[in-house]
Chains A and B, each alone.
Chain A
């Protein structure tokens, strides 16, 4: 019987649920999209970005990944809730908040 979080669906029976609502994997919330909470979204102007990385630690939603090369990558819009902290801290005006048309 699966003990994976992905199989603990809302239709699961009590016999199939993991014991005591425990989960035996890390980071299963990565299956959850929180990007749909967003009204505004950050957009990065790659030409203006100096890779100072000040935007990366301020993100509450792990939406500004930094790669193995030490450079920030594009926003992870699956998680980004559009709080705008990153745009506000960017010293170079490289991040703009725009209305998220979905």
Chain B
């Protein structure tokens, strides 16, 4: 069935308004889009790691989740949802439940790349029928923009401030999607918000409806942490894709597919200049930083091209 934005939007929204995420936040956009990928006859239990998303969507007594929801802690969304999924199988086997359920966990990059990494790895390896979604905003935003292992090279965060001696985060971003692929899970994909949301919507559907464990990595910009005007969200995600900073690809049963190949790969500087977190890279004498990032992006892109041609 071909994708139609109109039909997609006519589906039930499973995230409610009245949540307390900042204006222009990327995370609720990711959540509502992914939940719309559920077929109307299916219910879902959602788990969120402790994060901006969690504290903003279930502040007692106000829940923004229209279906069942569980928050447990920061580092264990994957383990928690795997417990729910296992209970479902146990109760279904005993004939105690007749509804059809899907299981989706959300975590920020801190809760996924860092503190929740072990729990995620365990759940993926065990192969629960679940989807883990990382809404990647590249730092610990809930606690005030501290670096994570997902923070890009040289980014200015509150624990990697662009100082006189150390100019921001000195390490590259961890490639979590590839690590998840290495688990041998049936489906892993990287996506973000582009155009009519075809890419993210189709990937969410595949992730939910491929039996077994699936992983989605969604770039979800944070206007406060990245320091850009909130209305620019879709320009930034587009530039991330056009510069190949955040390539759109999916891996189905080990086979890499590149979902979008820019006609003309834009220089990374186009992306970097849109955000205050990279502003120090544009100071005279810091040209090497931009060059280095360009080299890293090129190398990762070449790797991906090779993998997708295999």
Contacts and interface: CB of A to CB of B under 8 A. Distances in A.
A26 B67 contact: yes
Contacts of B27: 60
Interface residues of A, number: 43
B32 A62 contact: yes
A26 B46 CA distance: 12
Given A34-B20, A60-B23, A26 B9 contact: no
B195 to A, nearest CB: 8
A39 B234 CA distance: 21
A89 to B, nearest CB: 5
B60 A21 contact: yes
B233 interface: yes
B16 A26 contact: yes
B265 interface: no
B66 A27 contact: yes
Contact of A82 (B23, B33, B193): B23
Contacts of B24: 60, 81, 83-85
B62 A28 contact: yes
B10 A68 contact: yes
Residue of A58, A60, A66 with highest tally of chain B CB at under 10 A: A60
A53 B11 CA distance: 14
A30 interface: yes
A53 B9 contact: yes
Interface residues of B, number: 48
Contacts of A54: 5, 195-196
Contact of B18 (A25, A60, A79, A89): A79
Nearest to A61: B17
B232 A88 contact: yes
Contact of B61 (A28, A59, A82, A84): A28
Interface of B: 5-10, 13, 15-29, 32-33, 57-68, 193, 195-197, 223, 229-235
25 contacts: A6-B61, A8-B60, A23-B58, A23-B60, A26-B65, A30-B17, A53-B6, A54-B196, A57-B29, A57-B32, A58-B29, A58-B234, A59-B29, A62-B28, A68-B10, A79-B17, A83-B223, A83-B230, A83-B233, A84-B229, A84-B230, A84-B231, A88-B231, A88-B235, A97-B231
Interface of A: 5-6, 8, 18, 21, 23, 25-34, 37-38, 53-54, 56-63, 66, 68, 70, 76, 78-79, 81-85, 87-89, 97
